Amino acid sequence: MRSLEQLAAEVDGLGGKRVLVRSDLNVPLAEEDGVRRITDDGRIRASLPTWQALLDQGARVVVCAHLGRPKGEPEEKYSLAPVAERVRELLPGTTVRFATDLVGESARAQGDALGDGELLLLENLRFEKGETSKDDDERGRLARDLADGASAYVGDGFGAVHRKHASVYDVPRHLPSAAGGLVLAEVEVLRRLTTDPARPYVVVLGGSKVSDKLGVIEALLGAADKILVGGGMVFTFLAAQGHDVGSSLLERDQLDRVRGYLATAAERGVQIVLPTDVVAATAFSADADHAVVAADAIPADRMGLDIGPESSAAFASALADAGTVFWNGPMGVFEMEPYAGGTRAVAEAIAGSDAFSVVGGGDSAAAVRALGLSEEDFGHISTGGGASLEYLQGDVLPGLQALED
């Protein structure tokens, strides 16, 4: 993949040129009294160095990104306006413009007004159907509109490189392009995980997107020494072993697949470590009645919302002597204090180990920061969950492929 330096050389310098940058600004937001507030700005901060490098060269930087999952038309609650506000705070002294559409009148007017060393953030990419369309022509049309007037493209939205979307996959066909520093750094770290990782290689998996994440287990069964499973996905494992899981998150159609993984792991000598106790609550709420129960005795009317203290201790000790750690997905509903213990224990164990550690996943990274841990105690905190999982699965990532061509 080409770097910014190579791109600058290719187009005879970026000063005064309009450069379209695809960034990942898909940050978590909370609404309070009708005001949307960013609860974790990690992805914005991770995007700054690439913008700054371009601004320093006098480029006219146009940033495009998505937020949430709007369905191809404008929806106020997915507006990037709060992100533009945050960017202004993070780039004092830089003119930061915001277009209230993606390729419409506002984007054109703001683009025309954009000066050297200024930044323009466009409204949510997914307000246009073309962004995520499966139809090549529909995506292609949006890609041409986005590329219109730009002299170069920089792909830096690592969290979206696994998507065959217009801004990720199609735009680079129309412009001289390069990978931004964030994408290059992320890929370098993942390469380290897949080429001769220091042993033991311990993987911690959790979170709520169970079926999305099962695929990576298959790949990891050929790479990792231990796989610790927590979060919402654990109940599909416990059910696969024949246990009742009450009203916990369960993906019944994945049970056979999970049984297959357990059998393969046993054959290959890969340890799959499941919790022996869980925090089970009567409802998905911080105020619900909750208690620690054995993992094989979850009452029918309760749901598991965290791994229990015995499991936390076991996971921590499995992590203590690791050479390499990859962690994706919180161990419980860490956003609610009664169910944050497992995630905190795992995060602290990883922070305290000497292993080369990588945290992938938007919520996992947010958990590290929300729990007050220092980012410096982790080898790398990835901005992309799905993207890093697909990379580890050995999939071709459309956004990286587009930057190779």
Instruction: Tell whether residue 362 is a contact of Mg ion (CB under 5 A).
Output: yes
Region near Mg ion per CB under 5 A, out of 23-31, 151-159, 294-302, 355-363: 355-363
133 vs 388, beta carbon nearer Mg ion: 388
Sheet holding 226-229, edge to edge: 271-273, 226-229, 201-205, 324-328, 356-360, 380-381
229 and 354 in contact (C-beta within 8 Å)?
no
Cα 77 → chain centroid: 20
Region near Mg ion per CB under 5 A, out of 306-314, 357-365, 388-396, 397-405: 357-365
Which of 95, 157, 106, 114 is closest to 17 using CA atoms? 114
Amino acid of residue 246: G
6 vs 39, beta carbon nearer Mg ion: 39
Catalytic position from the list 362, 384, 385, 399: 362
Active site residue 362: yes
Burial class from Cβ neighbours inside 10 Å (0-12, 13-18, 19+) for residue 292 reads middle
- Sign of the C-alpha dihedral computed for residues 117, 3, 12 and 143 taken in this order: negative
Structure tokens at 72: 């191809």
CA separation for the pair 7, 24 (Å, rounded): 21
Which of 206, 228, 214 is closest to 367 using CA atoms? 206
Question: Smallest distance, Å, CB 28 to Mg ion?
Answer: 9
Question: Smallest distance, Å, CB 389 to ligand ADP?
Answer: 8
Q: How many residues interact with Mg ion (rule CB under 5 A)?
A: 2
Question: Smallest distance, Å, CB 331 to ligand ADP?
Answer: 7
Question: Smallest distance, Å, CB 248 to ligand ADP?
Answer: 6
Question: Smallest distance, Å, CB 18 to ligand ADP?
Answer: 33
157 binds, among Mg ion, ligand ADP, none (CB under 5 to 8 A by kind): none
CA separation for the pair 235, 250 (Å, rounded): 6
Catalytic position from the list 108, 192, 209, 259: 209
Reported as half-sphere exposure (CB side, CA atoms, 13 A), residue 169 has a value of: 22
Instruction: Tell whether residue 363 is a contact of Mg ion (CB under 5 A).
Output: yes
145 vs 363, beta carbon nearer Mg ion: 363
304 binds, among ligand ADP, Mg ion, none (CB under 5 to 8 A by kind): ligand ADP
329 vs 341, beta carbon nearer ligand ADP: 329
208 binds, among ligand ADP, Mg ion, none (CB under 5 to 8 A by kind): ligand ADP
Q: What are phi and psi of 371, to 5 degrees?
A: -80, 0
Q: Binding string, 126-155, against Mg ion, x = CB under 5 A?
A: ------------------------------
Cα 253 to Cα 219, 233, 259, 262, 294: the distances in Å are: 20, 13, 11, 16, 24
Element (H, E) at 292: strand 290-294
143 vs 366, beta carbon nearer Mg ion: 366
What are the residues binding ligand ADP (CB under 6 A)?
A: 206-209, 231-232, 249, 304-305, 328-330, 332-333, 335, 361-364, 385
CA separation for the pair 191, 60 (Å, rounded): 32
The C-alpha R_g of the chain, in whole angstroms, comes to 22
Active site residue 209: yes
Question: Smallest distance, Å, CB 103 to ligand ADP?
Answer: 29
Question: Smallest distance, Å, CB 293 to ligand ADP?
Answer: 13
Active site residue 231: no
231 binds, among Mg ion, ligand ADP, none (CB under 5 to 8 A by kind): ligand ADP
Which residues of this protein are in contact with Mg ion, per CB under 5 A?
Answer: 362-363
Residues designated catalytic: 43, 209, 362, 386
